[in-house]
Structure 1
Amino acid sequence: MTAETRTIDLPDLHRWVAEAFRSAGLGKKEAEIMSDCLTEADSRGASSHGVIRVPFLVARLRDGGARADASPQLLTEAPASAVVDGDAALGPISAHFAMTLATRKAAACGVGFVAVRNSDFIGTCAHSAMIALRHSMIGMTWTNGFPGMAPFSGAGAAIGNNPFGFAIPTGSGEPVVLDMAMSCVAGGRVRHAAKRGEDIPEGWIVDSEGRDTNDPNQLAAGGALLSLGHKGFGLAVIGEILCGVLAGAAILGEIPEWFRETDKPVGNGHVHLAIDIKRFVRPEDFVKRMNELATLLKQTPARDGHDEVLLPGERSVRCAAWHRRHGLDLPRQVADDLVTLAGRLGIAAPQFRSGATV
């Protein structure tokens, strides 16, 4: 049975989220970045990283774990690289600063690589990676985070699921966008299932005793996410090295559970890469070859139970188009959490459509 939901138009949700962050102390530009990141996640179908997280992130600002007046700063710089201190800003803000810098360096040198330390939870990696698309560049974002995933063959949480995102322009259509964690499923998706009162498939998490479970509440009770096998765990280790060790940021158990310990700085790291396509191949040749690649892949016959072959990000584009037309359905408990937050902040509640759906 589907949980009860409340529907809101995306522009109304975007305005409300920005207002919530302004009321929590962020400047106008920073509040817009946060709203862009979270509402885009919901619109593209990544509801685990969407507005369900607004109350936690506002709590981080109000409790002191993140700084509302933060100003990310350059620590070291070379023509094609830089290291940034995030100044304990909310992650999407420091990620926006770093990827914008990476694109400037790529415009000058062909590639730009920027590492960030002293940051916070960045949300979907695709959001900052897609900044490169505005400059007809390839973008990549990778981050480490709270160690909520078990190592391959391990029975308890020890490492982050350390997601990455790639965004690649096609020139003649929607970009190719891959955003994935190294766990079987994002932790936010498990918590979203708990909000909806739904079971999850076995193989997503283990409980505090290292046993398989389909109860999403077991994750918060000391359980752990499971990795995408040994390959997912291996990539998580590489992410920990690049985003933690190389960036000079916190690693593994040094990173607190950001959505519970809202008074503690996260201190995690992330890296951002921008590639200026025209430095490697003529843009018109790149577009031609991308179209050939897409056509050949999509000509593959679909397996039973599937309608077609989709490229990374294609489903998200369709999802966003649907939500722009029809609005976004939020689980009743998520909607109620936003209404409660509005009361705490002293602002108007989100303007949901009349009635509710089941």
Structure 2
Amino acid sequence: MAQDIIVTAADLEYMVGAMFIAAGLPAPWAQREAEVLIWADLRGVGSHGVLRVPSYIAGMKHGMRRGDADIRTIFEKGALAIIEADRGPGLHAMRLTMDKAIALSQTHAIGWVALRNATHTGPMGFYVRQAADQGLIGIAMSASRPLMAYHGTRTAAAGTAPLAIGVPRLGGKALVLDMANAAITIGNLAQARMSGKPLPKDVALDARGRMTTDPTRAVTPMPVAGPKGAGLALMIECLASLMAGSPLLTTAFDEPALRNQHLQNGACIALDPTLFLGPDVMAGEVDRLARGIKAEPMAEGFDEILMPGERGDREAAHRREHGIPLPAKLWSELVSYALRLGVQPAQTRNA
């Protein structure tokens, strides 16, 4: 197997941004998109990092991801708003959605903003950090066309429905839970196909609705925790899609041709905890909670108790200093796309 390559975060971000500009995104949008992807790769979440670049560029080429989208607020009342993405780039649009939620929270103590008709919205953890970095509690979720089996089905009947919650701690830190409701994400399936590694048992179905561990045959993720993950995914469709007047699952059921048409909705919520408590009181209590859990006796086989987001924070610090490792196959594909777009690939070294 070919050796991984190493590239610095700054060089990779510049390269990806240049590729998006060459593919037709306005420069500010391109930069904002690149920042989110590199954020994911820094934290070791390769399923939502530059692995996505080829599909994003292909979507732009075929008009499914618009660089000329008219992204705008179409409804606003009190603490609520809806943003129409017009098939614009989802990472940029989701950042705007959280920006709007944060702005509304400054007036109303809470902001709830729905995003509709976007393309792939990426890692939810990024958006809740936008809020947490300003001392706010952040919640972000995303809904899609059918991608995941619902508990009891043998076909895709629900979205993978990622959800993140970010709660600020002292010293600029945050607890960040970032999870999909699928036992394995679509991005993880793509990573497995690239590496050739078999899948864990009971996480994916093949095209005939049978369990498989072969990543080349797996097409449909299973819900995490059976009916629990399936039920939560269904509720996220209600909150992120139906509430925005943009049903994704039912339109796909009614019109089968739409099942494979990529479209996503999202919702971002920002809440100011100083409404209930004084400045830094909530963050201090979160720190006290984390310390309390970490002080509990450890189970056999563990050498540390980690808080949500802690592993990713450490990995990001390491990769900022030492570079981001990428599979050779993925790097070769990125270089091929870059050269076709007239972009100079970043300098790399072997792992």
**Per the alignment, in what secondary structure is the counterpart of residue 269 of structure 1?**
strand
User: Corresponding residue for 2:158?
Assistant: 159
Which deviates further from its counterpart, 103-112 or 123-132? Answer: 123-132
Where does 1:296-315 land on structure 2 (aligned, <5 Å)? 296-315=292-311
User: Corresponding residue for 1:132?
Assistant: 131
Counterpart among 332, 338, 346 of residue 342 in structure 2:
346
User: Corresponding residue for 2:12?
Assistant: 13
Q: Distance in 1 between matches of 2:145 and 2:48?
A: 15
TM-score of the two chains, using structure 1 as the length reference? 0.92
Q: Distance in 1 between matches of 2:176 and 2:283?
A: 16
Cα deviations across residues 39-90 of structure 1 (Å, max 9, x unaligned)?
1111111101100100110111122101102231111111211111112111
Q: Identity over the aligned pairs, expressed in percent?
A: 32
Q: CA deviation at 1:134?
A: 3.1
Amino acid at match of 2:179: M
1:64 correspondence with 2:53: no
User: Corresponding residue for 1:325?
Assistant: 321
Q: Distance in 2 between matches of 1:232 and 1:35?
A: 30
**Per the alignment, in what secondary structure is the counterpart of residue 217 of structure 1?**
coil
1:337 correspondence with 2:333: yes
- Alignment CA distance shift 1:265-1:30 (3 Å): farther
Amino acid at match of 1:227: P
Cα deviations across residues 248-273 of structure 1 (Å, max 9, x unaligned)?
224127469xxxx9xx9634211110
**Per the alignment, in what secondary structure is the counterpart of residue 118 of structure 1?**
strand
Q: Distance in 1 between matches of 2:5 and 2:39?
A: 18
User: Corresponding residue for 1:103?
Assistant: 102
Counterpart among 277, 282, 292 of residue 288 in structure 2:
292
User: Corresponding residue for 1:36?
Assistant: 35
Amino acid at match of 2:230: F
User: Corresponding residue for 2:122?
Assistant: 123
- Alignment CA distance shift 1:185-1:3 (3 Å): farther
Q: CA deviation at 1:101?
A: 0.6
Q: Distance in 1 between matches of 2:131 and 2:170?
A: 13
**Per the alignment, in what secondary structure is the counterpart of residue 68 of structure 1?**
coil
User: Corresponding residue for 1:244?
Assistant: 241
User: Corresponding residue for 1:276?
Assistant: 272
Q: Which runs of 5+ in 2 are unaligned?
A: none
Amino acid at match of 1:252: L
Contact 1:119 1:269 in 2 (8 A): yes
Contact 1:338 1:350 in 2 (8 A): no
Q: CA deviation at 1:93?
A: 1.3
TM-score of the two chains, using structure 2 as the length reference? 0.94
Q: CA deviation at 1:3?
A: 5.4
Amino acid at match of 1:202: K
Provide runs of 4+ in structure 1 moved above 3 Å.
Answer: 253-256, 264-267
Contact 2:125 2:164 in 1 (8 A): yes
Q: Which runs of 5+ in 1 are unaligned?
A: none
Where does 1:152-301 land on structure 2 (aligned, <5 Å)? 152-172=151-171, 174-219=173-218, 223-228=219-224, 229-252=226-249, 254=251, 266-301=262-297
**Per the alignment, in what secondary structure is the counterpart of residue 84 of structure 1?**
strand
Cα deviations across residues 94-113 of structure 1 (Å, max 9, x unaligned)?
11111101001001000000
Q: CA deviation at 1:215?
A: 0.8
Q: Distance in 2 between matches of 1:288 and 1:281?
A: 11
Query: RMSD over aligned Cα, in angstroms?
Result: 1.8
Q: CA deviation at 1:210?
A: 2.3
Q: CA deviation at 1:127?
A: 1.4
Contact 2:118 2:263 in 1 (8 A): yes
Q: Distance in 2 between matches of 1:73 and 1:9?
A: 35
Q: CA deviation at 1:120?
A: 1.1
